[in-house]
């Protein structure tokens, strides 16, 4: 931060949070070289340098340009280069060619970050002189909070994009060396029953500046009623070991388990394992499978939650399990409403127990057997619902009844993507802990695998 510019007082919670979140993005880039930060491994993934620039663009475009007196852009060209998808802002650099942006350099992007940080903090410290000051400050605070939530989303993308990039290199470079996996006793799959009925889903319109209210994205609103039949959820996530059993039983070569579009996808792309799995010696499906993580390549651990699977794979697994395991008759994916109704009452405990980016595992972790599990099989809590992996649901991503996108250009944030995608719930090992909540809706197309996506089984009671 430029010390010559007056900053918001350190006691301002939003200024503190701003500095913390901005610093976390830089920390995530620390293990990487400038070359690592430049490359783009596929159209879905962006270079780290682009992420660092784009989240800065968000503050410059949606906060400074609107509210800073005598605003001048740091560099007018950046408005186009680092616009992701906002048509209301104007032209965009093509998404698939972000890796070709060798200029500005990483150093120039970091300088831009520092300059924008100083200007945002200055804006927070100096209320505008015009009329409606308190209304303006509230708008500024709302947009800064949105910018921080946006940056936290990009922190997760930064890690998943880096993972894909490093996997594309035959050297299998390691992002972080330590391997935190501990040996634990597996937790048996149990069914947790829920009565259903009429349940409240979602959040009231976001108004995080009022005391006691928290941030929510517009796609989580408005809070509304849903009717659920009685249902059950598995107490824990599906594991790598269970996935190996699925593969040993012919998973990827048995059309019975697959949706038609999923079967086409398997055959067109010759899919025979989750993303990042490699088999070191030819043989049967159980032999010598390794998977790549941000800690490098290692043999499959059977107790860690399965991850990097598509919607098609998650759905196929549930069908296979329903048909082959007497304990799992009727197994299917949960709806997003079943998931939320089960997780919301336990949100605080789930968040404090969850494996998030702060734990530095950067990989889903096995659940340890808890005393409660050992003592009472019937009351075992919902495990791993927040953190570890995003859980595919069978709900297609669409607007809640009464949904209205935010006003202005930020109205393009979520609403325009409500087609051809499915909802995932719960956050992952790459999600910041204070970013996730039970009502949070992530969404991806059915063949997406590079996020930390996994599944939990459900069934009707
Ligand atoms: Fe973005």
Residue 58 Cα to ligand 1 middle (Å): 8
Are 119 and 443 in contact by the 8 Å Cβ rule? The answer is no
Strand, helix or coil for residue 454: strand
Cα 83 to middle of ligand 1, angstroms: 8
Å from CA of 78 to ligand 1 middle: 14
Return d(Cα 421, Cα 311) in angstroms, integer.
Answer: 10
DSSP string, 101-154: ---S-HHHHHHHHHHHHHHHHHHHHS--SSS-HHHHHHHHHHHHHHHHHHHHHH
Q: What is the DSSP string of 355-392?
A: --GGGS--S--PPPPPHHHHH-GGGPPP-SSSSSSEEE
**Alpha carbon of 208 to those of 34, 127, 346: distances in Å?**
37, 19, 21
For residue 45, report the distance from its CA to the centre of ligand 1, in Å.
12
pLDDT band at 131 (very low <50, low <70, confident <90, very high): low
Between the CA of 55 and the centroid of ligand 1 the distance, in Å, is 6
What's the 54 CA to ligand 1 centre distance in angstroms? Answer: 7
Ligand 1 centroid, distance to 413 Cα (angstroms) = 8
Distance 272 CA to ligand 1 centre (A): 32
Q: Is the sign of the CA dihedral 133, 135, 138, 140 positive or negative?
A: negative
What spacing in Å lies between the alpha carbon of 235 and ligand 1's midpoint? 34
Confidence bin at 12 (pLDDT 50/70/90): confident
CA 182 to centroid of ligand 1, rounded, Å: 35
How far apart (Å, rounded) are the C-alpha atoms in residues 399 and 402? 8
Tell how far the Cα of 84 is from the centroid of ligand 1, in angstroms: 6
Lowest mean pLDDT among 23-27, 181-185, 438-442: 181-185
CA dist 442 and 414 (Å) reads 10
Under DSSP, the state recorded for 160 is: H
Read off φ and ψ for residue 290, nearest 5 degrees: -120, 155
pLDDT tens profile 163-182 = 999 999 999 999 998 766 66
The pLDDT score that the predictor gives to residue 132 is 77
Dist. CA 86 → ligand 1 center (Å): 9
**Ligand 1 centroid vs 31 CA: distance in angstroms?**
22
pTM: 0.94
Neighbours of 71 (CB within 10 A): 12
* Cα atoms found within 13 Å of the Cα of residue 133, Cβ hemisphere only: 8
- Residues, Cβ < 5 Å to ion ligand 1: 84
Residue-wise pLDDT tens digits, 371-422:
444 444 333 489 999 999 999 999 999 999 999 999 888 999 999 999 999 9
| pLDDT band at 207; cut points 50, 70, 90 | low
Q: Which of 95-99, 114-118, 300-304 has the lowest mean pLDDT?
A: 300-304
State mean pLDDT over 19-47. 98
């Amino acid at each position: 931060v430029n010390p010559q510019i007056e900053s918001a007082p350190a006691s301002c919670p939003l200024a503190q949070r701003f500095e913390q979140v901005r610093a976390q993005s830089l920390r995530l880039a620390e293990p990487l070289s400038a070359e690592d930060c430049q490359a783009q491994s596929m159209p879905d993934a962006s270079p780290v340098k682009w992420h660092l620039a784009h989240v800065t663009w968000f503050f410059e475009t949606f906060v400074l340009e609107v509210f800073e007196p005598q605003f001048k852009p740091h560099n007018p060209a950046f408005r186009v280069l680092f616009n992701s998808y906002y048509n209301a802002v104007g032209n965009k650099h093509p998404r698939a060619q972000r890796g070709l942006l060798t200029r500005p350099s990483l150093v120039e992007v970091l300088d831009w970050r520092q300059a924008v940080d100083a200007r945002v903090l200055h804006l927070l410290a100096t209320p505008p002189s015009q009329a409606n000051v308190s209304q303006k400050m509230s708008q500024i605070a709302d947009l800064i909070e949105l910018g921080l939530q946006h940056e936290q989303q990009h922190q997760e993308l930064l890690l998943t994009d880096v993972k894909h990039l490093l996997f594309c290199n035959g050297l299998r470079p390691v992002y972080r060396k330590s391997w935190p996996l501990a040996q634990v006793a597996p937790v048996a799959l149990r069914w947790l029953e829920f009565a259903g009925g009429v349940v409240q889903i979602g959040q009231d319109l976001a108004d995080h500046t009022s005391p006691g209210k928290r941030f929510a994205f517009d796609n989580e609103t408005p809070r509304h009623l849903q009717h659920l039949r009685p249902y059950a959820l598995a107490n824990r996530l599906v594991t790598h070991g269970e996935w190996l059993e699925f593969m040993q039983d012919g998973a990827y070569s048995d059309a019975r388990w697959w949706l038609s579009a999923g079967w086409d996808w398997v055959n067109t792309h010759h899919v025979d394992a989750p993303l990042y799995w490699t088999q070191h010696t030819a043989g049967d499906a159980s032999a010598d499978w390794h998977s790549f993580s941000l800690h490098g390549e290692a043999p499959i651990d059977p107790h860690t939650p399965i991850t990097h699977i598509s919607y098609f794979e998650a759905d196929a697994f549930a069908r296979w399990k329903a048909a082959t395991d007497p304990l799992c008759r009727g197994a299917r994916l949960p709806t997003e409403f079943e998931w939320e109704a089960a997780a919301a009452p336990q949100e605080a405990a789930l968040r404090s127990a969850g494996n998030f980016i702060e734990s530095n595992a950067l990989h889903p972790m096995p659940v340890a057997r808890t005393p409660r599990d050992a003592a009472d099989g019937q009351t075992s809590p919902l495990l791993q619902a927040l953190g570890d992996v995003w859980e595919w649901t069978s709900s297609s991503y669409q607007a809640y009844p009464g949904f209205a996108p935010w006003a202005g250009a930020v109205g393009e944030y979520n609403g325009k993507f409500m087609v051809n995608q499915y909802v995932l719930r719960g956050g992952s090992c790459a999600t910041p802990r204070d970013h996730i909540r039970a009502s949070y809706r992530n969404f991806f197309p059915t063949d997406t695998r590079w996020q930390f996506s996994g599944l939990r089984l459900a069934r009707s009671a």
